[in-house]
Chain A
Amino acid sequence: MNRIIDLFYKKKKNILNVYFTAGHPKLHDTAEIISSLEQSGVDLVEIGMPYSDPLADGTTIQNSSQIALKNGMNLLLLMDQITSARKVTQLPIILMGYYNQVMQFGEERFLNTAKDAGVDGMIIPDLPMDVYEEQFQSLFNKYGLTISFLVTPETSDARIRQADKLSTAFLYVVSKSSITGSSGDISDKQKAYFNHLNTLDLHTPRLIGFGIHDKHTFETACQYAHGAIIGSAFIRALEGEGTLEDKTVGFISKIR
């Protein structure tokens, strides 16, 4: 069974998904970050495929991506790293990245290679839902990989239902109209939006991301969804002093 589907089958709340950029801080940190995250008890790991032009990302992920690319990260190397990591971990792994690099790698080759490496699902924020449905849905099914689409406070109900229908792991709830890496508390307006989603009778579990950066925002998000996603705050933690393991365990222990 797909590890992500299995996770959401067994666990219904307080799910913690942590994002990091592959190849950052150092080129070969991937396996150690994954094992440290597993040791810290996170439920799901989302690995960013670094891209030169990450449109939806704030400065933290932009900078980590640039460093990763400068370090020499590319998709083939990342797939090798995940293959090695997979030998010792059962943590569900999601790849997140922009469509252009998937297209250049070749869509089917990408899915096939990822599946072989032990990846469980994908998030491709600039892949339109209709293009996915027409061209790639059957390939995702063939390789048993999940996909998660994004919904935002600007997304219409009809479109939320379409994303709910097409998403196979969880719905990625973008907490507010912003790029990644924002700070501050979760506002009443955001809570109203999360509540609205909860009235729609959606069948896909929901994880809230964007702006989730500490214990308080994580716990608040978990009151309104099945769990939450932390990205930029963890990347900043990785940039500090100390071993990857200490930094990871230290950061996660402050979240839950």
Chain B
Amino acid sequence: MSYQVDNQGYYGEFGGAFIPEMLHANIDQLAKQYKILINDDGFQKEFKSLLKDYVGRPTPLYLAKRLSTKIGARVYLKREDLNHTGAHKINNTIGQILLAQRLGKKRIIAETGAGQHGVATATVCALMGVECIVYMGKVDIARQAPNVARMRMLGAEVRPALSGSQTLKDATNEAIRDWINNPAKTHYIIGSVVGPHPYPDMVARFQSVISEEIQWQLKEHVGRSHPDYVVACVGGGSNAAGAFYHYLDNEDVQLVAVEAAGKGIDSGASAATSVLGSKGIIHGSRTLLMQTKDGQIIEPYSISAGLDYPGIGPQHAHLIATGRAQVFSATDEEALEAAMELSRIEGIIPALETAHALAILDRIKVKEDDVIVVNLSGRGDKDLATYIDYLDNNQGEHISDE
């Protein structure tokens, strides 16, 4: 069984490029050239040098002692939160901006939900001196003001997506429409392992540096390069794709994907795509998505804007369908509790997205000498307003329990 993309752009029955003809020339150019370009020595040298000197890689792999005691196994945190701009997102935007330069594209567009990918894109565009336009749902612009300000400070234009529900899926639609209108000079930097082939594979390759580092770091820590579990949160799934990448074919490693249950799987306000979704097409990819019986896409819900996506990357759909990856889901409340706990016992304030992955650790049936790697995909600064609300509403409990 292969878990990598095949020559036609599919992972099993998922993937492909279900796009209108207007996008075909651009997607075809990318599909034909991306592997050649990114495997080129010069590209790799520049990519690695920027990841080291600009992004700050390698990120540490840290044995979280107090969390380990609580879980009853050795829990390592892969500190993607310590990357420049505060999350794993920049691994992909560095790769794609280098690719865009080699394709001769002078104008960059991107979509963003919470603003993390938008900031990571605006950052690399500032670095390279190219025009940057970020589409963001009008609703998200209102609730993510600090990231909107960051993007503007970095020189990007933030364009409100006014269509549909005015959130991430609509920002993605608007970015795609922009690309249809501006095919020649524009490259679209998608922020996750979603969209038409070759995006899911390309983004996974750029994020694969995460598991590449985990391999040698774990070897130093525990004497073997593979853990028993790799745990990551999944919206579209780029941080999970990067953390799983080098372990896909090692069946000794249990891959664990954690989705956002929102207010509960059956509450009608959830983003647990693998449970609530069915096969269909979203943003040019055949995958699992949340939709009505008529095939209209449903607006998902999660407290975390980064997991608030109605689809899932096609590779993840394949990993789940084949049983290679195990899926859990965590509610808003569980994620908030996990964020508070990690902050208090390890001194690390995680992003709300990441907190979903932390929230299910005690549901894994572990043995004492098991090694669990949790991909700590982002830091929590952007979520402070949500965390402060939570603290204010749960003050009594949190002061008294220490």
A binding-site residues for B, Cβ under 8 Å = 51-53, 55-56, 58-59, 62, 66, 69, 74-75, 98-105, 125-128, 131, 149-152, 154-156, 159, 163, 174, 177-179
Other 14 A-B pairs with CB < 8 A, given A53-B282, A62-B164, A177-B184: A51-B296, A52-B297, A55-B176, A55-B177, A56-B180, A74-B294, A126-B19, A128-B18, A150-B22, A152-B21, A152-B25, A177-B180, A177-B182, A179-B22
Cα of A103 to Cα of B291 in the assembled complex, Å: 12
Chain B residues with CB under 8 Å of A179's CB are: 22, 177, 180-181
Chain A residues with CB under 8 Å of B363's CB are: none
Name which residue of chain B comes closest to A74, CB basis: B294
B binding-site residues for A, Cβ under 8 Å = 16-22, 24-26, 163-164, 169, 173, 176-177, 180-184, 278-284, 291, 293-297
Cα of A154 to Cα of B25 in the assembled complex, Å: 6
The answer to whether A177 touches B22, judged by C-beta atoms less than 8 angstroms apart, is yes
The answer to whether A53 touches B173, judged by C-beta atoms less than 8 angstroms apart, is yes
- Measured CB to CB, the closest approach of chain A to B73, in angstroms, equals 42
- Measured CB to CB, the closest approach of chain B to A63, in angstroms, equals 8
Chain B residues with CB under 8 Å of A103's CB are: 279-281, 295
The answer to whether B282 touches A104, judged by C-beta atoms less than 8 angstroms apart, is no
The answer to whether B296 touches A52, judged by C-beta atoms less than 8 angstroms apart, is yes
Chain B residues with CB under 8 Å of A159's CB are: 24
The answer to whether B20 touches A104, judged by C-beta atoms less than 8 angstroms apart, is no
The answer to whether B293 touches A149, judged by C-beta atoms less than 8 angstroms apart, is no
- Measured CB to CB, the closest approach of chain B to A24, in angstroms, equals 15
Given A51-B296, A103-B295, A104-B293: A126 and B280 within 8 A (CB)?
A: no
Chain B residues with CB under 8 Å of A75's CB are: 294
The answer to whether B17 touches A128, judged by C-beta atoms less than 8 angstroms apart, is yes
Cα of A156 to Cα of B21 in the assembled complex, Å: 11
User: Which residue of B20, B163, B282, B293 is within 8 Å of A62 (Cβ)?
Assistant: B163
- Measured CB to CB, the closest approach of chain B to A154, in angstroms, equals 4
User: Which residue of B22, B176, B177, B294 is within 8 Å of A154 (Cβ)?
Assistant: B22
- Measured CB to CB, the closest approach of chain A to B361, in angstroms, equals 35
Cα of A150 to Cα of B25 in the assembled complex, Å: 13
Chain B residues with CB under 8 Å of A99's CB are: 18, 281
- Measured CB to CB, the closest approach of chain B to A114, in angstroms, equals 15
